[in-house]
């Protein structure tokens, strides 16, 4: 579905990704773990085209999309839920969802309301409420729902459990599993919480200083050593 090949990315003089490679398989959740500051968010931004790769390639569905910006990547079928969610607090839940249409290949298709509200019933109840009045967990659900409005085939998710209580995180995990199983959605997740990662992930990459240093399937992963690495 997605191949990242030897990508180098930097902010000005400061190189963050030093030849990073990874593969996201279709209809599965691939999770990148690693300590704070190793470049996980930078990797997602580079895939989404917020940052342009200086070297290397991003290939999506056999097409080289390295040079596309965020709008082009969205049209190609990639959606991005940034860390911190970026809900517009003064807009209602429904208006926040409408923003997701901006990224849709065909805006006339409208918001897939039935599907969104089936997955996230709370958003139906709160659709007239200001986004800023939702709890952290509800805002995270809104951010994911907004990303789904463009009907993507690949979802990039940056630390969706940050600052939300474990029971809501688990609920979000169930929704992700549903999206993968029912719709064949592919997910690239950046996550620090091992419990959540274990609930949803099929494949893992472990990142350190801008490079992948270990990867494998859920069955192959040594979680005890992963936890030690992340904790240090
Ligand atoms: N806009 C920016 N300009 C300059 N440096 C930046 C910028 N954004 C991030 N960095 C630096 O790039 C490095 C990697 O940051 P990044 O956010 O990608 O890491 P991360 O692994 O996602 O960490 P975290 O889990 O804390 O979000 C850090 O040293 C950070 O300070």
Please determine, for residue 231, whether its predicted confidence score (pLDDT) is greater than 70. no
Listed in sequence order, the residues at least 6 apart from 37 whose beta carbon sits closer than 8 Å to its beta carbon are: none
Per residue in 172-186, pLDDT (tens digit) is 999 999 999 998 999
Per residue in 74-128, pLDDT (tens digit) is 999 999 999 988 889 999 999 999 999 887 777 777 888 899 999 999 999 999 9
Nearest to 164 by CA among 191, 127, 204, 201: 191
* ipTM of the complex model: 0.94
Task: Identify which of 17, 20, 42 to mutate to test ligand 1's pocket (most ligand atoms within 8 A of the CB).
Answer: 42
Euclidean distance between the first and final Cα of the chain, in Å?
Answer: 33
Task: Identify which of 35, 39, 80, 156 to mutate to test ligand 1's pocket (most ligand atoms within 8 A of the CB).
Answer: 39
| Phi and psi torsions of 57, nearest 5° | -135, 150
Per residue in 42-71, pLDDT (tens digit) is 999 999 999 999 999 999 999 999 999 999
Residue of higher predicted confidence among 230 and 185: 185
Contact residues of ligand 1, CB 6 A cut-off: 11, 14, 16, 34, 36-42, 83
Number of C-beta neighbours around residue 136 at 10 A = 14
Rounded alpha-carbon distances, angstroms, from residue 211 to 39, 50, 67, 162, 163: 8, 19, 21, 23, 26
Domains of the chain in start order, with CATH, are 2-231 (3.40.50.300)
């Amino acid at each position: 579905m997605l191949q990242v090949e030897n990508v180098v990315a930097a902010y000005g003089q400061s190189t963050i990704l030093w030849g990073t490679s990874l593969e996201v398989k279709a209809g599965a959740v691939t999770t990148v773990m690693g300590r704070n500051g190793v470049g996980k968010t930078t990797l997602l931004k580079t895939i989404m085209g917020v940052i342009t790769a200086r070297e290397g390639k991003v290939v999506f569905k056999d097409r080289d999309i390295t040079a596309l910006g965020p709008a082009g990547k969205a049209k190609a079928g990639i959606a991005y839920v940034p860390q911190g969610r970026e809900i517009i607090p003064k807009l209602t839940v429904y208006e926040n969802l409408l923003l997701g249409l901006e990224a849709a290949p065909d805006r006339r298709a409208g918001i897939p309301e039935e599907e969104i509200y089936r997955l996230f019933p709370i958003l139906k109840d709160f659709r007239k409420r200001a986004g800023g009045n939702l709890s952290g967990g509800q805002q995270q659900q809104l951010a994911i729902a907004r990303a789904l409005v463009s009907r993507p085939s690949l979802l990039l998710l940056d630390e969706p459990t940050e600052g939300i209580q474990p029971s809501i995180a688990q609920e979000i995990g169930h929704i992700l599993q549903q999206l993968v199983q029912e719709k064949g959605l592919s997910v690239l997740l950046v996550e620090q919480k091992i419990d959540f990662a274990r609930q949803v992930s099929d494949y893992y990459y472990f990142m350190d200083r801008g490079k992948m240093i270990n990867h494998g399937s859920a069955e192959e992963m040594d979680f005890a050593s992963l936890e030690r690495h992340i904790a240090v």
